[in-house]
Amino acid sequence: MLDPRLLEILACPACKGELEHRTEPSEVLICHACRLVYRVEDDIPIMLIDEAAPLEAEG
């Protein structure tokens, strides 16, 4: 689980926007503005634009 203090300062590397932290079904950080999902591995956010996955439509 990511440190809450880290979550307060992290921003999307593409647009500098706010990130949503989700832990289910896997831990990820989501930028709704860019529609990108950044994975978290072993409590380390992978904040590389080339490694981000597109956010799939919810509903």
Q: What confidence tens digit (pLDDT) does each residue in 1-48 have?
A: 899 999 999 999 999 999 999 999 999 999 999 999 999 999 999 999
Q: Is the pLDDT of residue 59 over 70?
A: no
Residue 36, domain member (yes or no): yes
Residue 59, domain member (yes or no): no
Joined together, the tokens standing for residue 15 give 């647009």
Which pTM was predicted? 0.91
- Our count of domains for the chain comes to 1
CATH of the domain at 11: 2.20.25.10
CA 35 to chain CA mean position, Å: 10
Asked if residue 19 lies in contact with residue 45, where contact means CB atoms within 8 angstroms, the answer is no
